[in-house]
Chain A
Amino acid sequence: MTMMDVITVSEGVIFAYFIGINAGYLTLNFFSIFSITRYMRNRALDDITDSYSTFHPPISLLVPAYNEEATIVASIKSLLQLNYSEFEIVVINDGSKDSTLATLIEEFKLIKFPEAYRKQIKTNIVKAVYHSSIHPTLRVIDKANGGKADSLNAGINLSKYPLFCAVDADSILQRDSLKTIVKPFLEDPRTVACGGTVRIANGCEVRGGFLEKAGLPSNLLALFQIVEYLRAFLFGRMGWSALNGMLIISGAFGVFSKSVVLEAGGYRTDTMGEDMELVVRMHRKLRLEGRSYRIIFVPDPVCWTEAPENLTTLKNQRTRWQQGLSESLTMNRELFLHPKGGTISWLAFPFFVVFEFLGPLIEVLGYLLMISAFAFGLVSYKAMAAFMLVAIGLGILLSVSALLLEEMSFHIYTKSKYVFILFLASVAENFGYRQINSLWRMIGFFRWLKGGKGTWGEMKRKANWTRS
C-alpha cells in the first residue's frame, strides 16, 4: 500500500465519519420535529385541561452546594417561590470552605435538628441536619466533603418524597418548571426519570431569582453555547427521548423516581459524570431485568444556567464532561449490544460510543490529516473543498435545524433581530469554536484514559442576576 493509498483510505473514512455523524443527528432532528409538534399540540391542551388536572406528586428538591456563598441565598429564595403544590428543599453543604453554611444559617434562621432518617445509601459523614425556622420546607445537611454525587446521595437519604429533583445551586428555574417536568410521571406511570431543557442565562434579564426576559449575550463564547445547547437539547435529547434511548439527563435539572434510584444504588461517587452515569446505569438495570420503563425528556425551557465566558473555564468544563461521558459508557459497557438491551444497546449506546466517545479523537485527527495532506500536496483542492463543505456545511445545517425547532416551539427569543443573530452564530460557531471544542474533548478522552479523579466542577460565577 502506497502513501497515496493510505491517504485515499483515510479520506474515505473521514468523509464517512463526518457524513455519518451529521446524518445521525439529522435523523434525530427528523424524529424531534415530529415529537416537538406532538408535544406542542399536547401543551396547547394544558391550558384547557389544567383547571381539572391539578394533582401533582410531592417532590424533594436536592441542591448540592460547594463554595456557593455568592449565589446560594438567591437560589434558595427563588426555589422557595416555585409554583408547585407540595415540595421540600434539601440543601447539601458539601464541606464548603467558604461561608456557604454560615450564610444559610443566618439568612434562613437555621437550627440544628435531630433528624431521624434512613441511611439507604452510604455517604461521607453527615455532621448535622438543620431545619429552617422560617421556611418549614427547607432543610440543610452539613456534611464532610465527598463530591457532588455523595451530596446528592445524602440528600436522597434525607428526602421525604417519592420523587426527587437534582438542581444545581446556580440554576435559575422557571416558576412552573416542576409542574412541567412532573407531567411525564402523571401521564405514564412507567416513567422513572425525566430531564428538562437547560438554557443559557447569559444576556437574559433575571429578577427576584426568576427569568424575566430572554436575551442574547454580547460575549461570543456564550452566544455560541446558546446554539450548542439548542442543538444538544432540542434535537439531541428530544430525538433520543422519542426512541426511549436517552442516555443523559442534565445534572442541572432532572427528576427521578427515588425508589428506582435506590434500587440502582444511588449516584456513583467515583465518576465525573455522575448524572449521565446514573441514567445509563438505570437503563442497564431496568433493561437487563426486562422491566418496562420510560426515561423522558421535556423540551420546555425549565432551567437556565450561567455559561462560561472564558476559554479556560469552558475548556475545564468540556474536558470534564468528556471524562464523565467516557466513564459512564465504560462503567456500563455490559449494555453495549446486549441482546436484552433493545434501542439502548443497539442504537443509542453504539451511537454514543462511535460519535461521542471516540468522535472527538476522529474529528481532530481528521482535521489534522486533511490539512497536513493538503499542505503537502497529497490532497487536491477539490477534495479539501469537499471536506470543508461536509465538515462545516453539515455542521451549519445541524445548528440551523435546531433554530427551526426553537421557532416551531417556544420562541424564547422574541425579538426578530435575535433570530438573525442566532443564525449568524450558527454559521460562525462552525469556524473554530466547534473544532476547539473537539480538541478539548479529545483532551478529556485522554485524561479518562490516564484515569483522572473526579472533583467538583468549579467555575467563577458572575451571578449578575442576584443583584437585581
Chain B
Amino acid sequence: MENPETRPPEESKENPAETAAVNYMRQWKEKVHAGFDHIMGYPDRVINRALDRIPDTTADKIHQKMDKIPTAAPALLSSGLGSAIFYEASRGSLSGTATSSAVTAGILTSFFYARSYFRERQINKDKDKGLNNE
C-alpha cells in the first residue's frame, strides 16, 4: 500500500499555486481522516500507517496478529456519517439550502479576513517601492 506521508509532493513547475492547492487538499484529507480515526479509536489504522515505514518481515508478523482485531469498516463509516452531517444540517429546509448557506457563510467570513491580509500586503509592497525610489 502506498504511504501518502512518504509520497513526494506533486510537481508543477509552471504553476506553483496549483501545486500548493493540490498539496493542501491531500494534507487536509490525511489530517481529517486521521482525526476521525483518533476520535473513533481505530488504532489498527493508525498502526497500519506506522507499519508502512518498518521492514516487511517485522510488519508481516504484526499484521498476522492484527488480523485478529475486528474492524468496523471505518472508511464506510466516515463517509456515511459525513454525508449524514450535510443531510441533517438541511433537515428543516428545502434542497440543502441550510447546508449551502452554512458553507457559503464560512467562505465569506474567510474572505473578509483574507481581504485585510492582501490589502496590508499591498500597502507594504507600495511602501517598499517608495523607499526604493527614494
Is B a genuine binding partner of A?
Answer: no
